[in-house]
Structure 1
Amino acid sequence: MKISKITTQKKNKNRFNIFISKNGADEYAFSVHEDILIRHYLRKDMELSDEQIKELKEQDAIYQYYTLSINYLSYRMRAKSEIIQYLKEKEASDEAIEVVIKKLEEEKLVNDLAFSQAYVRTKMNTTSKGPNKIRQELMQKKIPQSYIDKALTEYKTEIEADKVIGMMEKKLSGSRKKSYKQQMMQLKQSLMQKGFTQEAIEMASQEVDVTVDEDEEMEALRYQGEKIWNKQARKHEGFQLRQKVMGSLYQKGFSMDLINQFLDEKEEGL
């Protein structure tokens, strides 16, 4: 087949429509990017076989997927798995994806180790996530385990503990309606869920100001105690009522001295 005409696309000046001569008329055959046109020196009256046309179409498709990937990467760094998923959504073939990824890696535009290191630094400095949570997120992005381990060496235990101390002090400084012990226990559980390590949490617990204001503790106990007393008073009385309330408050982390003080107050008011 012979190229009979080459025209520039109206909506994209970097793409060209290739026409072939068929039955004495110009018939549209395919389109290519300017780079493909120049690389293969496509011109009028050039003879092309079916195999050559197939190859040109494949190369042009790869070029388009490559261009899409570059644009996708312009917003932020991406893991290799993210690029692969993106290209699959664009209906790229496995062969085209393989070629594009190889090219991007050769140009150092996709590098899972560099991505992991940048990801850890960003999450460490801008979020309240611990290293275990970040590890999970990187695993979901199919980052190799060795890269994850290396990247997370930047999230040192000391840095983690400092972050935990700040979160503990902020959480414990507000008004509360639970015992300090219960609040600290729940806070530790929350920190574990955020991905902080047991080592860092315990280190922070020893460093944070753990001074318990007895008035605040008593206020929290009265808040909890009134609810428990009213509930148990519907079923028990006398010594049994006292024991039930005492047990419930003790489980909530209050000291026996404060519990007895509260119960004495309740019984005196009866």
Structure 2
Amino acid sequence: MIITKIEKLDKGKVKVYIDQEFKFCLYEKDLKIHQIKEDAEISEMVYRDIYNNTVLRRAKQKALAVLKFMDRTEAELILKLKQADYTDPIISDVLTYINSYHYIDDERYASSYIRSKKDIKSKRQIYAELVQKGIDKGNIDQAFSEEYDNEESAILRAVAKKSKSVKDMTYEEKTKLIASLYRKGFQLDLIKKIID
């Protein structure tokens, strides 16, 4: 294996290409430690050492840091790792590690997301947001069957947050409330049934 290119990035990082293919990012200090230079040969043993003990270790730390403060979907974690210049094989190894500890679970994420949003957003809006986050439609459907009672009760909860009594509202206030609920993705016929 030949180191064909070392491309400088910012903050002392470099991209290392082996046999014309981008393999991983390192810091300039790592180049010195492992004596990596352009057009030099790199042994399989040194490559494996860098991959496992430097790059993969840092990628795992990055993934854990991303997951530390909030739950993420697998797609969101992959995106964060790609933004940090990790290659697909490294990301795959990180996901294997993360999944072995059940740190990410798209079904659990979908259930939790639905529970937290069902009082303020429509089923359609929540569904679209979960799809955008990269969650499989099967997992979303399963989570909805467990967590979402029905659209009517969600509308009632949303109305209760806006007003104590719909009967005491003026025509203009009702119109504004209907428009607000419709923008949130609730079905117009159900809104009118509850508010009129």
- TM-score exceeds 0.5: yes
Are positions 1:134 and 2:139 aligned together?
A: no
Partner of 1:58: 51
Q: Cα offset for 1:201?
A: 2.1
Cα distance in 2 for residues equivalent to 1:50 and 1:200: 68
Are positions 1:184 and 2:177 aligned together?
A: no
Residues 124-163 of structure 1 aligned to structure 2 (within 5 Å): 124=118, 128-153=120-145, 154-157=147-150, 158-163=152-157
TM-score where L is the length of structure 1: 0.51
Partner of 1:108: 102
Contact 2:155 2:181 in 1 (8 A): no
Contact 2:122 2:186 in 1 (8 A): yes
Q: Percent identity?
A: 23
Are positions 1:123 and 2:117 aligned together?
A: yes
Name the aligned partner's letter for residue 34 of structure 2. Answer: A
Deviation digits for residues 192-219 of structure 1 (CA, Å, limit 9, x no counterpart): 21122346424523xxxx6xxxxxxxxx
Are positions 1:28 and 2:36 aligned together?
A: no
Contact 1:160 1:200 in 2 (8 A): no
Cα distance in 2 for residues equivalent to 1:78 and 1:18: 30
Deviation digits for residues 80-101 of structure 1 (CA, Å, limit 9, x no counterpart): 1110111111110111111111
Cα distance in 2 for residues equivalent to 1:139 and 1:109: 20
Q: Cα offset for 1:134?
A: 1.2
Name the aligned partner's letter for residue 141 of structure 1. Answer: K
User: What is the CA RMSD across the aligned residues, in angstroms?
Assistant: 2.9
Higher relative contact order (CA 8 A, sep 6+): 2
Cα distance in 2 for residues equivalent to 1:201 and 1:50: 68
Contiguous gaps of at least 5 residues in structure 1:
1-16, 20-26, 31-48, 211-270
Partner of 1:217: none
TM-score where L is the length of structure 2: 0.69
Contact 2:110 2:139 in 1 (8 A): yes
Three-state SS of the structure 2 residue aligned to 1:129 is: coil
Q: Cα offset for 1:124?
A: 2.6
Name the aligned partner's letter for residue 196 of structure 1. Answer: F
Partner of 2:84: 90
Contiguous gaps of at least 5 residues in structure 2:
1-28, 36-41
Q: Cα offset for 1:188?
A: 2.1
Q: Cα offset for 1:62?
A: 1.4
Number of residues paired by the alignment?
159
Larger Rg over CA atoms: 1
